[in-house]
Amino acid sequence: MKLNYKIQGEGQPILFLHGMFGSLDNLNMLAKDFAPHYQTIQVDLRNHGLSPWSDEMNYDAMANDVAELCHELQLKNLIIVGHSMGGKVAMQLIRIVPEIIQKVVVMDIAPVKYLQSPNFDVIQSLEKCCSQHITDKKQIMHIMEQQGVNTATIYFLLKSFKNGHWLFNAKIIVKNYSDLSDWQAGAPSMKPILFIRGGNSTYIADQYLDTLFSQFPQAKIVTIEGAGHNVHAEKTAEVLTALHEFIENKI
């Protein structure tokens, strides 16, 4: 699948992969900081942004899409930064194209299967909106409020609702949500990898650390206090500091 992407700058490539319901613009606050000294590549994953839609939605498919793009752009010595779903895609890429990857940064997601995902209320809301073919923003907001989706998340989602339809493939994301919550552990990787977690988030809870280190024995973990799941948006300066220190071998 040919993915939509945006390139800025020149130098060592840094690939930015957004989370579920997002688009390549979601990590722009990070990419623009690195663009003066690196080549930054921001990608719309399948079923998101301006990339094609498909009935298939799992980490093998998404990682293979990105690997195809890396091959097309002839990327080497690559740094990957992925948030949430994009972080799992990044970890999958370590398995399939390790030879082109130098380092990986995973923001607020663990290499585990989530049995009780914090996104469940969003998925229920989207399922209801899709099944009832709702095309009115006010009605969507009302349904999400009834399902207990917090206000910040509602406004984030509605940024991707234009002219009566979602810019992401809501129906297929809902249909394949169990696959997107899943994770199949593979052989341990010694690739340098940094996990950045929000101090107020449960996505990289302490209970997941043994599993995390069993798959990535060289992993480093930075906790950004006062931040939730969207740690890069809530505490941009602190995340940029962690990114620079990891990339420049200071941590």
pLDDT score recorded for residue 190: 96
Catalytic residue among 84, 181, 189, 201: 84
Catalytic residue among 18, 48, 83, 229: 229
232 is catalytic: no
Does position 117 have pLDDT exceeding 80, yes or no? Answer: no
Does position 43 have pLDDT exceeding 90, yes or no? Answer: yes
Average pLDDT, the chain: 95
β-strand partners of 165: 162
**Ordered DSSP codes for 178-200:** HHHH-----S---S-EEEEEETT
pLDDT band per the 50, 70, 90 thresholds, residue 238: very high
Give the span between the Cα atoms of 71 and 248, in whole angstroms: 25
Check: CB of residue 129 under 8 Å from CB of residue 143. yes
Q: Is 67 exposed, middle or buried (0-12, 13-18, 19+ CB in 10 A)?
A: middle
181 is catalytic: no
Does position 36 have pLDDT exceeding 90, yes or no? Answer: yes
Segment 6-17 shows an average pLDDT of 98
CATH number (3.30.70.270, 3.40.50.1820, 3.40.630.30, 3.40.800.10) of 5-112+183-247 reads 3.40.50.1820
Q: Can you give the pTM of this predicted structure?
A: 0.95
Does position 124 have pLDDT exceeding 80, yes or no? Answer: yes
Helix axes 137-146, 120-131, angle to 10 degrees: 140
Q: Is 161 helix (H, G, I), strand (E, B) or coil?
A: strand
Segment 134-161 shows an average pLDDT of 92
Segment 178-186 shows an average pLDDT of 94
Segment 30-48 shows an average pLDDT of 98
Does position 34 have pLDDT exceeding 90, yes or no? Answer: yes
pLDDT band per the 50, 70, 90 thresholds, residue 66: very high
Domain positions in the chain are: 5-112+183-247, 120-175
pLDDT score recorded for residue 119: 83
Only one residue has tokens 């073919």, namely 133
From residue 171, give the alpha-carbon distance in Å to each of 40, 54, 80, 174, 247: 31, 11, 28, 5, 37
pLDDT (tens digit per residue) in 184-231: 998 999 999 999 999 999 999 999 999 999 999 999 999 999 999 999
Does position 91 have pLDDT exceeding 80, yes or no? Answer: yes
pLDDT band per the 50, 70, 90 thresholds, residue 233: very high
